[in-house]
Amino acid sequence: MKRHLTLVLAGLLVALAGAVGPAFGQDAAKTKYIAPIKGEARIGYTKPQVKVVKDAVITVIKVKNMTTGRIAGFKVEEFWWDKQRNPVTGARYIHPRPIDPGEVITVTLNTPKNPAMDSNNYTFTHAQGTIKATAMKSLDEAPAEGKAADKGKKTKK
């Protein structure tokens, strides 16, 4: 009797696998693997929007992946300096997943406010290399090839 039951259950499993298998195969065929960039990646970013809220300086930057591969381990660091160019404070943002080609993300940096703050700069990096960052008026525009990379734009506060 056990043998008969085992054969029936095995037959049911095979039938279910045959019915469910094509559905999984179709979804997998639609998803295309995009390898992460190794070496220099290119991004475009909008002018940072800086606001002071109570005891914090909130900086919001829109960033677009301008490469044909994914950017893994994307990181933005903000450094604040006093008038004598001594470091005062800073913030760091690490994106939780790879950024797909053409994808736009919003980076929010939350820095503790310090009365000595005078100017700041930003550094863009990723897990597998460097970033060539280009400041853009709009992320819809095509970046000019001759434009210099801006790895640390200073702003007055």
DSSP 93-122: EE-SSPBPTT-EEEEEEEEE--TT--EEEE
Instruction: Read off the pTM.
Output: 0.68
More confident residue, 115 or 145: 115
**Are 114 and 47 contained in the same domain?**
yes
Reported as a pLDDT band with limits 50, 70 and 90, residue 149 is very low
CA distance 16 to 35: 34
**Are 106 and 130 contained in the same domain?**
yes
**pLDDT at position 2 over 90:** no
Q: How many residues does the chain have?
A: 157
Tell which residue, 11, 96, 99, 113, has the closest CA to residue 55.
113
In a domain, 36, yes or no: no
**Are 48 and 113 contained in the same domain?**
yes
**pLDDT at position 146 over 50:** no
Q: In terms of DSSP bridges, do strands 119-126 and 75-81 run parallel, antiparallel, or are they unpaired?
A: antiparallel
Q: ∠ at Cα 123 (122, 129), nearest 5°?
A: 165
Domain that holds residue 75: 41-156
Question: pLDDT per residue over 12-55, tens digit each?
Answer: 556 655 555 555 555 555 567 888 999 999 999 999 999 999 89
**Are 26 and 78 contained in the same domain?**
no
**Are 49 and 106 contained in the same domain?**
yes
Is residue 78 within 8 A of residue 60, CB to CB? The reply is no
Reported as a pLDDT band with limits 50, 70 and 90, residue 97 is very high
**Are 21 and 52 contained in the same domain?**
no
**Are 25 and 76 contained in the same domain?**
no
Is residue 76 within 8 A of residue 93, CB to CB? The reply is yes
Question: pLDDT per residue over 55-79, tens digit each?
Answer: 999 999 999 999 999 999 999 999 9
Q: What is the structure's pLDDT at 151?
A: 45
**Are 18 and 68 contained in the same domain?**
no
**Are 72 and 116 contained in the same domain?**
yes
Quote the number of domains for the chain.
2
**Are 72 and 17 contained in the same domain?**
no
More confident residue, 89 or 154: 89
In a domain, 54, yes or no: yes
More confident residue, 50 or 151: 50
**Are 4 and 57 contained in the same domain?**
no
